[in-house]
Structure 1
């Protein structure tokens, strides 16, 4: 385990010279803490009282922001949903659409979800701000491109084609947000170097349920031919497939504060490790450490830091 921690430190040092692209929709995330109120038993809806309301720039933005702490430059290609903080020296925002996307979650008590309202787009949207020629240059000059397809239409066919033609290394996640077919389908992309899906997303893409995560990872690997294929299963950990060999990792968090954005940052760190030539086992370890560290941060309150990663890595070492 000491060797893995030293490899983590080496990886972070190597990443400090990297230029990357993170592309995906920025979402206005609204979190509303509520209190359930009693009402007549025949009411057809839930009665709540709003206690606290907080807003964050979410979606792909936290991934770009967090990764900017570990690389030399992040080009964040997104929709112009928010005004972003201006103190992020290593992050360059490239808006390609004026569309606005928002998501509101309502909670009651300790992280119990009452209901959640989603305002989304479900068809391809037209680029209006940045020419495709400029995007092609951004993709080709980066060491790797991290694609977070939330299914709201930003990653239209022209953008996907530009990524496949120009990017040196592509890491992909297509999310099954409210089952918006076909936006969660990875066949839309010609090829990927690293694919990461959670168990539900893997089942959707394979049209198969009720099989172990290890089998899902193998089937995805065989069908879509990504160099590295990762399937996550929340608190049960994750599996990576490479050259038809599988490695697994437990979930690396002892106290989960918030799971929002864990798979996204896991994709980012898996991509950094893979592009740096790390082994499949090391890739999954680094990605799992990052996901574990993310669970210790409440929503998007602050960026991920090196200290967060070391805390998780050392905690895992002490448990073994």
Structure 2
């Protein structure tokens, strides 16, 4: 459980400030002037976007937030400043550039479907005199905070010069520095504590075609070396978060149940990471906190935020069967340190549609020792092994069902085609596989004290269940 309720870290967000403007309407006719839809507007609303969404997420977590950015001398800029101030955010470091508009993105939505987006913005570099003022003012701000978050959307504020100025000064003051990067050249973020690119952004920045775990690790390590990071991070959408160190990956699985809108999820992740790290969490705990925060947000519509109580409630509900069962590899190894006197049993599989055969197999496996650990293939891994129409159930759903079994003590996911590296790390006392492995080499057997083969229940398999359903549907 996350012990952050009493924390009030001071966090400075520097970046491209935006307004997300939503227009909801109906369309029942085509314009006589041109072959386009006519939208009858029913309602409109403004929401904080870009770096402002990072600020909003931090404010929802009750952090003490300072924001630095540039707005225009227009109505949108006035609204944005008033909105941030009403949330208790320190806006002392907002700068007005009369030569540029406040960035505003208007989304036209008909029947819950976005049909058009209109952007009002300037991507030209911010005036050099304003940049000089920002540098001068930021020195005192950085000294005052625990963490600096750079939210780069490529709108002209965060040049290489300003970004490096911020990072070097913050680093000299021993501050946590998190960057949500933009563009292909990540050298501008050199010296930061952590970057938070998604898989697509990491691929573009490194030039590495990320197609499997090996290339993912390669990309993560490339970013680590280029930016001189102690540890590298890539957000993996439905697969959670990947941490990269010493040419290995630690994956923190997502806990999202339903996804309605991924807008702003990246902002939520970096805000939650900054909050947790500033509150004393280690990187693993911070990533798990960020994962839950993102799960809360993608269950809402539009750029949204997650409060601390929402995160705790979601965490409790998701792991209600046993909140400690579905763990990351890092957390599992930590747990095993305290179970050295226990006989540890390990088995693995896809467990796509849980059936009687699985239950019998797992119960027998559990009877062989004191602790049963079940390794479960990630969704991508199942697809590679079983075909493009699998899995039927997502990793989160498969893990949740396994966690509900009394015979299962811990569930851990792996993204490769075999659990070799996982078995190597765990070094179980007993490695269990199905009876179909008779006269076959069991992957990872050299890292276990004993290998036991358990016969499957005849006629029970996920493939046969799927085939039966397909036959009845014909």
Question: TM-score normalised to the size of structure 2?
Answer: 0.57
Matched residue SS, 1:260: coil
Q: For the Cα contact (< 8 Å) 1:185–1:205, is it kept in 2?
A: yes
Distance 2:206 2:318 in 1: 33
Residue 178 of structure 1 aligns with which residue?
A: none
Matched residue SS, 1:11: coil
Q: How much has 1:45 moved relative to structure 2?
A: 5.2
Matched, 1:220 2:223: yes
Residue 179 of structure 1 aligns with which residue?
A: none
Q: CA 1:270–1:245 in structure 2 vs 1: closer, same or farther (change >3 Å)?
A: farther
Q: How much has 1:194 moved relative to structure 2?
A: 0.7
Considering Cα pairs closer than 8 Å and 6+ residues apart, tell me whether 1 or 2 has the greater RCO.
1
Aligned length: 300
Distance 1:87 1:122 in 2: 28
Distance 2:206 2:228 in 1: 13
Matched residue SS, 1:117: strand
Task: String of CA shifts for 1:231-253, please: whole Å, max 9, x gaps.
Answer: 12322322122454422123222
Q: For the Cα contact (< 8 Å) 2:58–2:65, is it kept in 1?
A: yes
Task: String of CA shifts for 1:246-284, please: whole Å, max 9, x gaps.
Answer: 221232222234322111120122233345553433222
Matched, 1:123 2:121: no
Q: CA 1:211–1:173 in structure 2 vs 1: closer, same or farther (change >3 Å)?
A: same
Distance 1:219 1:156 in 2: 22
Q: How much has 1:143 moved relative to structure 2?
A: 1.2
Question: TM-score normalised to the size of structure 1?
Answer: 0.82
Q: How much has 1:63 moved relative to structure 2?
A: 1.7
**Gapped regions of structure 2 (runs ≥ 5):** 72-76, 321-399, 404-474
Residue 310 of structure 1 aligns with which residue?
A: 312
Deviates more, 1:237-246 or 1:187-196: 237-246
Q: CA 1:76–1:247 in structure 2 vs 1: closer, same or farther (change >3 Å)?
A: same
Q: How much has 1:149 moved relative to structure 2?
A: 0.3
Which residue of 66, 76, 81 corresponds with 1:75?
Answer: 66
Distance 2:135 2:93 in 1: 12
**Gapped regions of structure 1 (runs ≥ 5):** 176-182
Task: String of CA shifts for 1:62-86, please: whole Å, max 9, x gaps.
Answer: 3213213445521111223323234
Q: How much has 1:47 moved relative to structure 2?
A: 5.4
Residue 180 of structure 1 aligns with which residue?
A: none
Residue 187 of structure 2 aligns with which residue?
A: 187
Q: For the Cα contact (< 8 Å) 2:54–2:270, is it kept in 1?
A: no
Q: For the Cα contact (< 8 Å) 1:24–1:149, is it kept in 2?
A: yes
Q: CA 1:206–1:157 in structure 2 vs 1: closer, same or farther (change >3 Å)?
A: closer
Matched, 1:295 2:288: no
Q: For the Cα contact (< 8 Å) 1:262–1:294, is it kept in 2?
A: yes
Equivalent residues in 2 for 1:128-143, closer than 5 Å: 128=130, 130-143=133-146
Larger Rg: 2
Matched, 1:260 2:263: yes
Residue 49 of structure 2 aligns with which residue?
A: 58
Distance 1:133 1:83 in 2: 21
Distance 1:122 1:253 in 2: 34
